[in-house]
A and B are shown apart, each in its own frame.
Chain A
Amino acid sequence: MNAGLPILRLGDILLGGLLSDLDDKTALAFTDELTARIANEGIRGVIVDISRLEIIDSFVARVLMQLAGTGRLLGTRMIVAGMRPAVALTLTELGLQLTGVRTALNAEQAMELLGWRRPVEAAEEAPHAS
């Protein structure tokens, strides 16, 4: 039995990752949860980390493109982060564009793209009222 893929929340950004052994059920659960949370939690950005994926076949490509499309309709920017060089080269040879999907080198750059800045003033900030 598959525990669902974990999805973390950082402010109004959701961060989730795809694992290598992605089956239909897991992909569906992941997509459903992301979509629900985008709608319910006022999410403006979603980062899908694909650094664990050793291949992207048409199934995974479709999942990613559909997620991006759904997100866009809900007013959210989706970024796919961490594509491996071998995967990028394979998709290029396939002639696949992954249209509608924005990519970033890693989750950190994805966060920057979404306008997340590191809290450099953290040290100087007054502690929050309890």
Chain B
Amino acid sequence: MLPDERTTPSGEHPVRVEEDLLSARHAVRAAAVAAGFSIVDQTKIVTAASELVRNAYIHGGGGTMTVESVRDSGGRRGIRLQVRDEGPGIADVEQAMTDGFSTGAGLGHGLGGTRRLVDDFDLDTEPGRGTTVTVVRWKP
């Protein structure tokens, strides 16, 4: 999956009520600042986080977000996010990867856009089994 990462103690955040979306964003922002990300890179990872937790909240019936500071084998620093939900899972992955940003109509999952904002992206889902999205953005 994402083999070369080493982690430091993580933060787990529930995504159950609307206010959790806010705290989740703040937590990711704080982690990105602590990892020394530029404002632009902070904005990108926080935007990705916002998409993922909103998906978990709206489509997944709520879930959990974990944010961790990581290092790869070359010593590069990064932020790793994992958003898990125990919802219905995604039946049509391809459809879900289309942009929730440009499809003004449906709510969409917007995972395609999120993928463009991060470096490593992993989607683990199955109808009936819930969804786990894991992303990493590295400090250049």
Interface residues, chain A, CB within 8 Å of chain B?
21, 23-25, 54-59, 61-62, 65-66, 84-87, 89-90, 93-97, 99
Contacts and interface: CB of A to CB of B under 8 A. Distances in A.
Interface of B is mostly: helix
B42 A86 contact: yes
A86 B41 CA distance: 8
A93 B108 contact: no
Contact of B43 (A65, A89, A96, A97): A89
Contacts of B47: 55-57, 90, 94
27 contacts: A23-B18, A23-B21, A23-B22, A24-B18, A54-B29, A54-B43, A54-B46, A55-B47, A55-B50, A56-B47, A57-B50, A58-B54, A58-B99, A58-B100, A58-B101, A66-B104, A84-B43, A86-B40, A86-B42, A86-B43, A90-B40, A90-B47, A93-B117, A94-B47, A94-B101, A95-B99, A95-B101
Interface in B95-132: 99-102, 104, 108, 110, 113, 116-117
Contacts of A24: 18
Interface of B: 18, 21-22, 25, 29, 39-40, 42-44, 46-47, 50-51, 54, 99-102, 104, 108, 110, 113, 116-117
B40 A58 contact: no
A93 B101 contact: no
B43 A87 contact: yes
Given A23-B22, A84-B43, A94-B113, 5 more contacts: A55-B43, A55-B47, A65-B104, A85-B40, A86-B42
A66 B107 CA distance: 13
Nearest to B99: A95
B101 A61 contact: yes
A120 B43 CA distance: 41
A33 B101 CA distance: 24
A101 to B, nearest CB: 11
Q: Which 8 A-B pairs have the closest CB atoms?
A: A86-B43, A57-B50, A58-B100, A94-B113, A58-B110, A55-B47, A86-B40, A96-B101
B54 A59 contact: yes
Contacts of B40: 85-86, 89-90
B1 to A, nearest CB: 24
A78 B38 CA distance: 32
Contact of A95 (B22, B43, B54, B113): B113
Contacts of A87: 43
